[in-house]
Structures are given as structure tokens and as C-alpha cells.
């Protein structure tokens, strides 16, 4: 069974993720197949638009192949992990710069790598089933696949909050934050896709006509707290602000933050600063390639994947264990330029 179903419906290309037991987490071969299709459709005048969705199951895409990345860190010095990032980021950048409209249907779980293949789309459709997150700090990794670009451009400190805590946003919150363009009931998605195939020049009006009023976004009620308590540039200062606040919401987020890799949190803070300063998406992906390829070689990544996904004990032993122990030079080293022939570049 193919892990990604690729076909055309007249003038519309259709990519449907088909790895339901893994909630469609992206493998290297899936990324390669998607790139091949998109390059072909980019240059085919008969193709006017592209739909990206999932074939079945409870989520759009749960992320990337972290088992491959962990094995790479433990077995081949990170070489196959870096190759995976190179190809995945080629896909992310190809979608970001694609000259024809892409419609991503983010129905259900949309995390990590799933964010990377939905955020570049011109139209990003969420539903009442959407659960969106960048949970990488829980496994000792940065919020890659373009997180440095997307999260740093969200309103106020929402991106920093989401990147550090791995907060799960529902469809209404995604729409409110600008991560989605349309909120549709899940039971009209098939109709939306059929109408897009009928008339790909009318995507926006099709989605507008089928959109529903989203519930009030809970996140909006906490925006003032988020903007105040996550304003600092260091993890230590954010923790201090949460402790000083002492309220129920602050204590809940503090408890969550303390389960994350302190080093990964500092790396994400740096990543968002770097991403905000990038002039192009390619610059951002070059920065993330350096950082992600090095982050998987740090102790926290293998340990985080072990505790959360392999042994499922939920008890990672982070190194260093506290923000105060983090060496700023170690953070600098993760983001340092690579030799010219090792740097990432777009297709």
C-alpha cells in the first residue's frame, strides 16, 4: 500500500497522505513522492491547483519520522537524519514558493511535520477536529519545518508560547491566530473538495460559502497573559514571570514548561529570534537545517524520544536539567554556519 496517494482530478492535483497507523507521519519516501508530484504539476499548464489531505484516520499528519532521526543520532552520526531534514525542507520550501494555489485540509491532528506541509498552503482549512501543535521541546528538538518563520510572525507572544509549551490549538484558535484561513465543519470537506475540482479558479468563494462560524477561541482570552508572561527572551526569565504571577493559568503553564527540555526551549527562543530576522523563507530553512541537524545529536533528543515514544515512560532525564546550567556557547554552536558545501539550499 502506497504511503501517499497521488493523482489528478482534471485540473487539480491531489496528494493524500496514507499512513493511518502512524497518523500519516512523514517518511523520507513520502516527502520524495510529494516533491516529484509537485515539481511535475508546477510545470504542467493543465494543473491549476493542488489539494493536500489525508486518506483516512484521525489526523492529517502527526509529524515526521522521529524514529529514523533517533536511530540516525545513535547509529550513523546524524547523517541519515540530516538527509531527511534536507529533503523534508525541500518539500516545505517548494510548497511555500509554489506558483499555483495549494489547499491543505488540516482535519484532525496536525503536528510537527504536518505543520510543515500545511502552513505553506495559500488556503489552510481547519475543522472542529483540528488539534494543532509544535510539540518538539518535549523531545529535545527545535520547532523545525518552518516554525521559525511561522511562529515568530504570529500575534504578540503567541508563537513563543506555542513553541515552548507545545500547546494544542483547536480549529477556532488556529483561525483566530492566523494559522488557518477557513473553518469548515468536517462533514462538508468532501463537498468542498468536489467543488474545488469542478472550478479551481473559485477556491476562495467555495471555501467562504461552506465556512461555519467558529466557536470563541479560548486562546484569545489568555492573550494578554501570554503577551505579558512570555515576553522575556530567556527561559529563566519566562519561568520567573510565571512564578511571580502565581495565578492558576500561569501555574498550569509553568508545570507544562517544566516537563520540556530546557536546552530545547532555549534553542527555540533563539530559533524564533533568528526566524523573525530572516528576509526569505529559504534563509529560515537554512538556519533550521543547521540547528535541527545538530539538535538531534544532543543528548536530549534521543532521551526525549525514548521517554515519550519508545519506552513511553514519560520521565526524560534532561541534560542539562535546568535553564541555569545551559551554556550560551552551546546554543551559539547549534546555530553556527556550516561549511559552504554542507549548507541547505532550495531545490
Residues forming the active site? 64, 113, 136, 144
3-state secondary structure 252-306: HHHHHHCCCCHHHHHHHHHHHHHHHHCCCHHHHHHHHHHHHHHHCCCHHHHHHHH
- State the Cα–Cα distance between residues 266 and 238, nearest whole angstrom: 11
| 131-133, strands of its sheet edge to edge | 59-61, 109-111, 131-133, 169-170
Residue 124 phi/psi, 5-degree rounding, is: -125, 110
Sign of CA dihedral 309, 236, 168, 296: negative
Q: Which residues contact 261 (CB under 8 A, 6 or more apart)?
A: 137, 138, 139, 140, 300, 304, 316, 318
Sign of CA dihedral 179, 184, 190, 192: negative
CA distances to 144, 157, 259, 269 from 148, rounded to whole Å, are: 7, 13, 22, 9
Q: What angle do CA 293, 132, 160 make, to 5 degrees?
A: 60
- State the Cα–Cα distance between residues 275 and 290, nearest whole angstrom: 13
Grid cell at residue 184 = 469548515
CA 215 to chain centroid, in Å, comes to 23
Amino acid at each position: 500500500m502506497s504511503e501517499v496517494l497521488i493523482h489528478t482530478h482534471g485540473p487539480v492535483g491531489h496528494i493524500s497522505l496514507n499512513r493511518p497507523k502512524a497518523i500519516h507521519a512523514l517518511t523520507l519516501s513520502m516527502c520524495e513522492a510529494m516533491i516529484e508530484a509537485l515539481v511535475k504539476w508546477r510545470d504542467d499548464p493543465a494543473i491549476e491547483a493542488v489539494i493536500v489531505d489525508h486518506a483516512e484516520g484521525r489526523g492529517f499528519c502527526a509529524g515526521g519520522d522521529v524514529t529514523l532521526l533517533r536511530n540516525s543520532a545513535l547509529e550513523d552520526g546524524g547523517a541519515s537524519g540530516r538527509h531527511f531534514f534536507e529533503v523534508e525542507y525541500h518539500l516545505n520550501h517548494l510548497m511555500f514558493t509554489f506558483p499555483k494555489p495549494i489547499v491543505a485540509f488540516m482535519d484532525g491532528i496536525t503536528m510537527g511535520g504536518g505543520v510543515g506541509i500545511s502552513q505553506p498552503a495559500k488556503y489552510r482549512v481547519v475543522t472542529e477536529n483540528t488539534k494543532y501543535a509544535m510539540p518538539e521541546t518535549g523531545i529535545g528538538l527545535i520547532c523545525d519545518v518552518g516554525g521559525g518563520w511561522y511562529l515568530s510572525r504570529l500575534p504578540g507572544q503567541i508563537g513563543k508560547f506555542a513553541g515552548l509549551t507545545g500547546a494544542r490549538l483547536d480549529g477556532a484558535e488556529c483561525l483566530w491566530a492566523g494559522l488557518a484561513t477557513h473553518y469548515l465543519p468536517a462533514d462538508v470537506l468532501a463537498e468542498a473538495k468536489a467543488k474545488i475540482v469542478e472550478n479551481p479558479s473559485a477556491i476562495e468563494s467555495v471555501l467562504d460559502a461552506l465556512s461555519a462560524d467558529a466557536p470563541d477561541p479560548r486562546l484569545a482570552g489568555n492573550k494578554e497573559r501570554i503577551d505579558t508572561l512570555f515576553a522575556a527572551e530567556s527561559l529563566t526569565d519566562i519561568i520567573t514571570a510565571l512564578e511571580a504571577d502565581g495565578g492558576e493559568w500561569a501555574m498550569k503553564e509553568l508545570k507544562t514548561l517544566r516537563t520540556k527540555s530546557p536546552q530545547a526551549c532555549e534553542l527555540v527562543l533563539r530559533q524564533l529570534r533568528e526566524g523573525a530576522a530572516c528576509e526569505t523563507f529559504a534563509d529560515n530553512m537554512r538556519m533550521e537545517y543547521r540547528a535541527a541537524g545538530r539538535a538531534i545529536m544532543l543528548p536530549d533528543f534521543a532521551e526525549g524520544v525514548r521517554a515519550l515514544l519508545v519506552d513511553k515512560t514519560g520521565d526524560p532525564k534532561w541534560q542539562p536539567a535546568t535553564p541555569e546550567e545551559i551554556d550560551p556557547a552551546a546554543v551559539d554552536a547549534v546555530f553556527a554556519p556550516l561549511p559552504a558545501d554542507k549548507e541547505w539550499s532550495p531545490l
